[in-house]
Structure 1
């Protein structure tokens, strides 16, 4: 029987989200009904809200969720009521060429579901899109089974929810995409939730010099606490690339643009060692913008690549939750604000201003 649940609905780009009671359909074949305990506010949600990435409206945003299985649809055998689960942005259909390759997380179903009109949510009989098939800005949601992962129930949910996207993106960029090496040097451009997770990933990998770069001086303390060895505010220096070279001699071994800005992506590339440096684009660059580089910066041996969700699969998400539970890395300093669903617009305001490192909507307290 369909349920009535509370949700934050975006009716148009750049409009405040409205708290409404919406109808949630029963899980169909291959689907799971999840009661959410918490969800993080991610910059990708803001990008969709601001029209920087294509999005159908009205929509229930949100994709950094964690919760418990309530019911399963026909054919679902891997999940049962009571399981602690995390919806994941990138499906794992197991059938497409990407999934079968064993080398990538770029399942074709990710974009299919981004563009699909199918949704479990409706309001007054009219469909409401579910962001990437997840829609975690609702008390409950229905998720395809291949976008769901069973996770360690010992994880603190108001922190672990961030592993569903931002933390996994950052850890994966360092550990899976770049494969940061012991004793290496790293520069991280942008120290939001993703950048701070890159820093933690680089520390786990054994990097000995980790340079955090951000225009917000308030980010210095947390970046250094989580593993950065140096902090540079670009506003305080004449040339950020030169400053990185001063600290490292010939440039860093690995650089990460965690903002999603073409100019920063180029600076990240130029800050790497000219013979073997690897620069990774992690932040989402708005549609319509392009990257450019002086050809010689690549011809000498540098490499330039991107990292979608850190290259992580569902199994990696579960592994990162386990690593959080066993203390390999921490989230106490990453989650700066706890909100109710009614305060979701405040969360986006703090994201825009830089006041929040990561805000989390708590549905059910641990």
Structure 2
């Protein structure tokens, strides 16, 4: 089967033939239908975060179950499924306390000494974020899979595997936006556009989309934003956001993972407002927080993978799409072949892409 591999010393992906191992206990073999290109993939591709190499990248995907291993319950060949990186054990304190997305004993790769799930000429290929979506077949732990309604188009379902769940969940579960409130979303990629839609669905009356790229802001307005702010490189972004509605916002959601946008997300808040940081920021990065602003009951918090068990969240988001409440097609920049994956990441580097989808043959 074909897969996109990140080799040592490379910042692009190499399309090669690889092998997938036989299905083991508690594993599910999936024929990949579609995979989304996420900024998290790009961060690892560009070396912002270290991962073992060679690795098969990708973590946002959907497909059809081909085979299940012993001990697997709730899945059968032919099921339509979404994969998710947030595997969980269901037994640790975090899982039992309702935070399975932060599981401390999450199942991932096979144990040391076992045959790897993915290999090339007998040598191990590392599995990226428990999934490795840029491959024609996925062999994953059952806790990385959720079954979905077969009416859901599988290409668009792939978006729910990361970006949509992260953005919507940050709005619904962590920020808990209420009707009539004002929301600023900094960054209009897949997560940011999902957060904008979440704010619309939650009943926010003022939704400010913020991005460097005016064309992304046009899409944001189509998906539910009421105001658009083009970030000025030398301007005060917090002031720009405040000026858009004449006051500070009730909620801000940062979907970039940069110091400047995280700082602005907090400083654009009104009294009693909440900033939710969703973007993936490298370790060691810090940003300033004015202590005086905290005395006015402002709050700074983070959200990871939608702050909810994905097996509960994703079927709800599928239903939102089927009911016409969630526009996923409007978030797709293009549909590409696996061989075009590097071109897709180049567009992302330039800030041109919303969400590109790899569509697999068959």
Indicate whether the TM-score tops 0.5.
yes
Q: Which residue of 1 aligns with 2:297?
A: 301
Residue 195 of structure 2 corresponds to 198
Q: 1:107 deviation in Å?
A: 1.3
Question: Is the 2:229–2:244 contact (alpha carbons within 8 Å) kept by the matching residues of 1?
Answer: no
Bigger mean CA offset, 46-55 vs 200-209: 46-55
Counterpart Cα distance in 2 of 1:364 and 1:22: 16
Instruction: After TM superposition, list the pairs within 5 Å mapping 1:131-170 onto structure 2.
Output: 131-170=128-167
**Residue 113 of structure 1, aligned match among 108, 115, 118:** 108
Return the TM-score normalized by structure 2: 0.95
**1:15: which partner in 2?**
11
Aligned-residue CA RMSD (Å) = 1.8
Q: Contact 1:256/1:280 (CA < 8 Å) preserved in 2?
A: yes
Q: Matched residues in 1 for 2:140 and 2:202: separation?
A: 33
Q: Match of 1:90? A: 86
Contact 1:13 1:50 in 2 (8 A): no
How far, CA to CA, are the matches of 1:203 and 1:237 in structure 2? 30
Q: Report SS of the residue matched to 1:277.
A: strand
Q: Counterparts of 1:114 and 1:212 in 2: how far apart (Å)?
A: 38
Whole-Å separation in 2 of the counterparts to 1:198 and 1:14: 33
For residues 268-308 of structure 1, give each alpha carbon's deviation from its aligned partner in whole angstroms, at most 9, with x where no partner exists: 1010113x100011100122212321211222211000111
1:54 aligned residue (41, 45, 50)? 50
Contact persistence 1:214–1:232 (CA under 8 A): yes
Match of 1:325 in 2: 322
Cα offset, 1:53, TM superposition: 2.0
Cα deviation, residue 250, structure 1:
3.6
Give 4+ residue runs of structure 1 displaced > 6 Å after superposition. Answer: 114-118
The question of whether the paired residues in 1 share the 8 Å contact of 2:166 and 2:191 is answered with: yes
Which of residues 295, 304, 311 is equivalent to 2:307? 311
Q: Give a deviation string over 1:190-215, Cα, whole Å, max 9, x none.
A: 11111111000000000000001111
Distance 1:114-1:41 versus aligned 2 partners, 3 A rule? farther
Deviations 1:14-55 (A, max 9, x none): 432111111100111000100011100111111111121231
Provide closer, same or farther for how the CA distance between residues 176 and 114 of structure 1 changes in structure 2, counting only shifts above 3 A: farther
Question: 1:144-203 CA distances to partner (integer Å, 9 max, x unpaired)?
Answer: 011110011111122221110011111111111111000000001111111111000000
In the other structure, the counterpart of 2:340 is 343
Structure 1: gaps (5+ residues): none
**Counterparts of 2:58 and 2:308 in 1: how far apart (Å)?**
19
Whether the aligned pair in 1 keeps the contact of 2:90 and 2:100 (CA below 8 Å) is no
Aligned residues of 2:87 and 2:108 also touching (Cα < 8 A): no
Partner in structure 1 of residue 268 of structure 2: 271
Q: Is the 8 A contact 1:200 1:226 kept in 2?
A: yes
Does residue 125 of structure 2 align to residue 128 of structure 1? yes
Answer with 138-147 or 95-104: which moved more: 95-104
Counterpart-to-counterpart distance in 2, 1:34 and 1:17: 22
Q: Distance in 1 between matches of 2:165 and 2:139?
A: 22
Deviation at 1:130, TM superposition (A): 0.8
* Rounded Cα–Cα distance in structure 2 between residues aligned with 1:113 and 1:284: 20
Q: CA deviation at 1:309?
A: 1.1
Task: Indicate yes or no: 2:88 matched with 1:71.
Answer: no
Contact 2:110-2:117 within 8 A present in 1 as well? no
2: distance between equivalents of 1:299 and 1:362? 50
Question: Which of 225, 229, 248 does residue 228 from structure 1 map onto?
Answer: 225
Task: Tell me, in whole angstroms, the C-alpha distance in 2 between the residues paired with 1:147 and 1:141.
Answer: 11
CA contact (8 A) 1:52 1:287 kept: no
- Cα distance per residue 1:318-350 (max 9 Å; x no partner): 211221122111111101111111111111111
Q: TM-score under structure 1 normalisation? A: 0.94
Aligned match of 2:355 = 358
Point out where structure 2 has 5 or more consecutive residues left out of the alignment.
none
